[in-house]
Amino acid sequence: DGRVAATCAAGGLVLLHGVKTGEETARIAVRGIPLKLAFSPDGRRLLVAGRALVADAYDRLWTFDAATGKTLG
Protein backbone atom coordinates (compact mmCIF):
# COMPACT_ATOMS: atom_id res chain seq x y z
CA ASP A 1 0.00 0.00 0.00
CA GLY A 2 3.09 2.24 -0.12
CA ARG A 3 3.06 3.30 3.55
CA VAL A 4 5.83 0.98 4.79
CA ALA A 5 9.30 0.26 3.45
CA ALA A 6 11.44 -2.71 4.50
CA THR A 7 15.22 -3.09 4.50
CA CYS A 8 17.64 -5.89 5.37
CA ALA A 9 20.11 -5.01 8.11
CA ALA A 10 23.11 -6.65 9.74
CA GLY A 11 22.63 -9.27 12.41
CA GLY A 12 19.62 -10.98 10.86
CA LEU A 13 17.37 -7.95 11.12
CA VAL A 14 14.65 -6.63 8.85
CA LEU A 15 13.69 -3.02 9.54
CA LEU A 16 10.29 -1.50 8.76
CA HIS A 17 10.07 2.25 8.15
CA GLY A 18 7.23 4.67 7.58
CA VAL A 19 7.66 5.99 4.03
CA LYS A 20 6.48 9.53 4.83
CA THR A 21 8.60 10.02 7.95
CA GLY A 22 11.45 7.57 7.43
CA GLU A 23 11.07 6.57 11.08
CA GLU A 24 11.67 2.97 12.06
CA THR A 25 8.35 1.37 13.00
CA ALA A 26 9.45 -2.21 13.72
CA ARG A 27 12.49 -4.48 13.93
CA ILE A 28 12.11 -8.08 12.90
CA ALA A 29 14.74 -10.60 13.95
CA VAL A 30 14.99 -13.66 11.72
CA ARG A 31 16.95 -16.79 12.55
CA GLY A 32 19.16 -16.41 9.55
CA ILE A 33 20.40 -13.96 6.98
CA PRO A 34 17.63 -12.02 5.21
CA LEU A 35 18.42 -11.62 1.52
CA LYS A 36 15.22 -10.62 -0.31
CA LEU A 37 12.03 -8.88 0.75
CA ALA A 38 8.61 -8.63 -0.88
CA PHE A 39 5.26 -7.25 0.23
CA SER A 40 1.99 -8.98 -0.59
CA PRO A 41 -0.10 -7.13 -3.20
CA ASP A 42 -2.35 -5.70 -0.47
CA GLY A 43 0.67 -4.60 1.62
CA ARG A 44 -0.45 -6.55 4.69
CA ARG A 45 2.26 -9.20 4.68
CA LEU A 46 6.01 -9.16 4.26
CA LEU A 47 7.81 -12.20 2.85
CA VAL A 48 11.49 -12.54 3.72
CA ALA A 49 13.72 -14.98 1.85
CA GLY A 50 17.09 -15.85 3.28
CA ARG A 51 19.52 -18.41 4.54
CA ALA A 52 19.06 -20.19 7.87
CA LEU A 53 21.88 -20.11 10.41
CA VAL A 54 22.71 -23.78 10.73
CA ALA A 55 25.75 -25.87 9.86
CA ASP A 56 24.29 -26.93 6.50
CA ALA A 57 22.65 -23.60 5.72
CA TYR A 58 19.45 -23.92 3.73
CA ASP A 59 17.08 -21.49 2.09
CA ARG A 60 14.20 -20.30 4.22
CA LEU A 61 11.06 -18.17 3.87
CA TRP A 62 9.52 -16.17 6.70
CA THR A 63 6.16 -14.36 6.63
CA PHE A 64 5.39 -11.36 8.83
CA ASP A 65 2.57 -8.90 9.41
CA ALA A 66 3.85 -5.75 7.65
CA ALA A 67 2.25 -3.38 10.17
CA THR A 68 3.45 -5.03 13.39
CA GLY A 69 6.35 -7.27 12.42
CA LYS A 70 4.71 -10.26 14.09
CA THR A 71 5.54 -13.68 12.68
CA LEU A 72 2.81 -15.28 10.58
CA GLY A 73 4.69 -18.35 9.42
pLDDT tens-digit map of 5-52: 999 998 899 999 999 999 999 999 988 889 999 999 999 999 999 988
Q: Does residue 1 register a pLDDT over 80?
A: no
What confidence score (pLDDT) does residue 40 get? 94
55 φ, ψ to 5°?
Answer: -55, -45
Categorize the per-residue pLDDT at 57 as very low, low, confident or very high, splitting at 50, 70 and 90: low
What confidence score (pLDDT) does residue 69 get? 87
Burial call 13-51: b when 16+ CB within 10 Å, e when fewer = ebbbbeeeeeeebbebebebebeebebeeeeebbbbebe
Compare 56 and 34 and report the one with higher pLDDT. 34
Compare 2 and 61 and report the one with higher pLDDT. 61
3 state SS of 71: strand
